[in-house]
Structure formats: C-alpha cells, structure tokens
Structure 1
C-alpha cells in the first residue's frame, strides 16, 4: 500500500467535481469526500482512492493505492486535470457574457472519463436515450460483462467485448444497431485499427476524421469523446439538447437557440469552449 499527498494551484473545487461524478451511479463516491478510481495499467486492474483534503484556493489530495504508484499518479493528473490552471480560464470568461455562470461554478474542473475505451463505449450506449435509461443500460452491460474489485466496476476489455454476440446485448435491451456499434468498436481496438495512445499526439481534426468513419459514431459522439476522454479544451457540441436547454434558460430565451445562434454565442468563449459547455451543463444538473 502506498500513499501520496498531491498539492496543486487553485482554484479547484473537488466537491463540484465529485457532484458531477455522482451523476453516474457506477462511480464510487465515498461520503462526498473521495472517489475510488478504476485504473488499468499494463493490463493490471487497480483501484486508487482520491480524497480531497485541501480548500478551494489551496487544493490538496491524498491518494492511496496498492501498486504502480508513478503511473497511477500520472494518469490521475490527466483524469482530474491537476495540471490545468483554472485561474486563466476563469479570467477569460470574466470578459464574456458567461461571467456570472463562471462565478457561480468557480473552480469546476473538466474531469475526464477513467479510460478512453470506456468513454467511447459510454457515448455509444448513451446515444438517443434519456439519462436514466442510459445509466440503466450501462449498469446492465457492466454487471454482465465487466468485473468488480473492492466495490468498483471495471469496464470489460476490448478483447472481451469483441467476443460478445449481438443477441447477448439484445437481451439487455440494446437495439440491434447499438449492439453492433459497441462490438464493432471493440474489434477495431483489438486489431489495432483504433489506437487511443496515438490519439494523444493527434489534432482534433485528425481524430475526428478517423472516428467519424466508424459505424455509430457521429459528430456528437466525436466531440464528447474529445472532451471527456482526451480533455480537449475547445469543443462545443451544438447538437447537444442539454446545452440547448442550458442556453435557453441562461439567456431567458422563448425557445431553444438554433445552431446558427449557438455558433454566434460561442465565438467569444474560444479557446475554452469545453469549459463553457461544462459550466452550462452544470447549470441545469
């Protein structure tokens, strides 16, 4: 067992980060103070606990694990965006019409999904579903094909998902197409045709052109993957109904904004569109 204390520059509101993680019932948030993170490092599945012990302006975390300390800490830094200076982003939005929104959600980080493969699968599973049933379907998938360590669920490996039959997912209430999409993505990862490690060095455009060729992957999925799997900071999925509703409420509009209106709204928010999207989602969660 190892333990490490990590201190970073503020602001960073770990409580708001945990609030967002709690929206997914598969995440293990403990007493609103810590979260247990499933990590797979060199084929080893390990559970790491991250506890917030600092303050908004002086964030500090106690991290506990059993093995692979250095690699685990490096991955946690990526997931929790400990290397991003939120002060710079906050100052940028003080000069925009989202100033009040960023004051209300001051210090909210853009937390990533725990690994890229599960992030892409989750995007596919959640497509065109209400959030409650999306979570239900994901839980069924995990409980059937994933595995549990210390109360924490791990997504099945690409190799395991590639061997699943469409009929098995249909029994969980997947549509036939969605089942084919999930299995197809796993097959691409297994054969090396889809390589998440290489994507870290690729541009958004290069990744988008590669992903959009995959059955079941559209612009909404690509943008969500770029934001929540890779942490890209300048994405704004205008087709997202949640963002449309958030903008309608924030600007007190009579109806949801059109795509053209959203394109105009977002111009001053670059190059931090992902944070604008995150804070707008937070405003209606």
Structure 2
C-alpha cells in the first residue's frame, strides 16, 4: 500500500519542487499532514502567456467567475481569437466596451497592452528577478495591485514561496483549518504561514483546495 509521502512524490507534470514541498509541509505542519494526502493527486498548473494571464485577471476583477468568462470570450472574439498586445490596442474603446468591459477596465487592459507593446516591462527577465521586484514592476501598471501580481507569480511563474495575504479564500481557509472558523488577522495568518516556508505557495494551494476542491485556472 502506497504511503502519503509516496503519493505526493510521484506526480507527473507537477512543478519540480512540488513533491519535496509536500513532504516538508507534512513534516512541519499537523494540518498540512491531513490536507495534502486528501488532495495529493492535484498540483499547480500554469496556463497562458504573461500578457494573457494578466489581461484575464483584469477582466475578472470584482465580477463572478461566470461573468468574467463571458466577457473574456467576447474580448477574444473581438481580438480575432489572438490575445496579444497589438490586437488589443487595435480595438477601439467602443469595441472593448461592447465586449462587456467597464470604462475603467478598458483603460486598464489598454494600459497593460501598451506596457507590453512598448517594451516598458522586462517580461523576458521576470524568471530571473526576485518576487518583490516582479511585484513592484507589475504594480506600476494601472489596475494591477499586489494581489493580482501575487496571483501572477503563483499561476504564471510558479514561484514556490508566495503568501497572498489579501486573498479572501486563503484567509477563510486558515480560519477554518487553524482557528475553528474564528476571524483571523493578517498577523495571525502570517504566523501560521511562517511554518510553511519556503513552500508557502504550495501550502496556499492546499488551503484553497480545502474549501474548494476544484482548482481555479488562470
């Protein structure tokens, strides 16, 4: 009979650090020891290029998943099914509004496209930059705050040690799993997560799974 450690150590297609992270987390944290075997067959998956990931994050801000998908599909149609900076910049404000984007989001997605198109971003260097440097560069783009930048680090760059303290789902999961549902402050969440380093991304992913078994896609 295979053990939990063996189960998480042999996941094809997972980030190269995933098995080690799971083993360490189960050793270091009593809650992770329970949660990881339960969802051990899943792992973090990256989808899309940098521009697509960030554009989709902007489209999805403050609306439901279903609404975001509907708007995204219409933006894709408007851009002739080729989501790239030049195609977005070629669309008029009216065309983007007709796809369902608010006036503010039109400004945001065009600013994002302009940053990529003009070369102001060091996208080809992000893989070699530290987490905070990438967050700082992304946060200079209109409509992208720290949470969106952290989601990018998790879902696109697959960084292993990101702790998105502004994420409602993460705070809720920490509350339910570590504090019996009592409200949790950022300080308390950070203290819990200190035990997860250097694999806070992996622990966050399992915290999300504990309240929603179906992984979100970015």
Q: Same fold (TM over 0.5)?
A: yes
SS at match of 1:98: helix
Query: Partners of 2:98 and 2:169 in 1: how far apart?
Result: 29
Query: Partners of 1:168 and 1:266 in 2: how far apart?
Result: 44
Equivalent residue, structure 2, for 1:18: none
2:71 pairs with 1:144: no
Check 1:132–1:255 CA distance in 2 against 1; reply closer, same or farther (3 A cut). Answer: farther
- Asked if structure 2 preserves the Cα contact closer than 8 Å seen for 1:244 and 1:257, the reply is yes
Check 1:198–1:104 CA distance in 2 against 1; reply closer, same or farther (3 A cut). Answer: same
Give the alignment's Cα RMSD to 1 decimal: 2.1
Equivalent residue, structure 2, for 1:206: 133
| TM-score, scaled to structure 2 | 0.85
Equivalent residue, structure 1, for 2:56: 122
Query: Which is bigger in relative contact order (C-alpha 8 A, separation at least 6)?
Result: 2
Shift of 1:228: 0.9
* Structure 2 residues not aligned, in runs of 5+: 1-5, 213-218
Q: Deviations over 1:94-124 (max 9, x none)?
A: 1213221111111422111221111111111
| TM-score, scaled to structure 1 | 0.66
Equivalent residue, structure 2, for 1:244: 171
Equivalent residue, structure 1, for 2:20: 88
Equivalent residue, structure 1, for 2:215: none
SS at match of 2:128: coil
Query: Partners of 2:127 and 2:155 in 1: how far apart?
Result: 13
Query: Partners of 1:229 and 1:181 in 2: how far apart?
Result: 19
2:152 pairs with 1:225: yes
Query: Could you tell me which of 196, 199, 204 is aligned with 1:272?
Result: 199
* Structure 1 residues not aligned, in runs of 5+: 1-9, 13-55, 60-79, 148-154
Shift of 1:212: 1.2
Check 1:275–1:215 CA distance in 2 against 1; reply closer, same or farther (3 A cut). Answer: same
Q: Deviations over 1:233-258 (max 9, x none)?
A: 11121111122222233236344422
Q: Map residues 1-285 of structure 1 onto 2, 5 A cutoff.
A: 11=7, 57=10, 59=12, 80-81=13-14, 84-94=16-26, 95-96=28-29, 97-147=31-81, 155-251=82-178, 253-285=180-212
Query: Partners of 1:58 and 1:241 in 2: how far apart?
Result: 28
Q: Deviations over 1:111-139 (max 9, x none)?
A: 11221111111111112222222222222
Please state which structure has a larger fraction of its residues in strand. 1
Query: Partners of 1:245 and 1:140 in 2: how far apart?
Result: 32
Query: Partners of 2:75 and 2:114 in 1: how far apart?
Result: 17
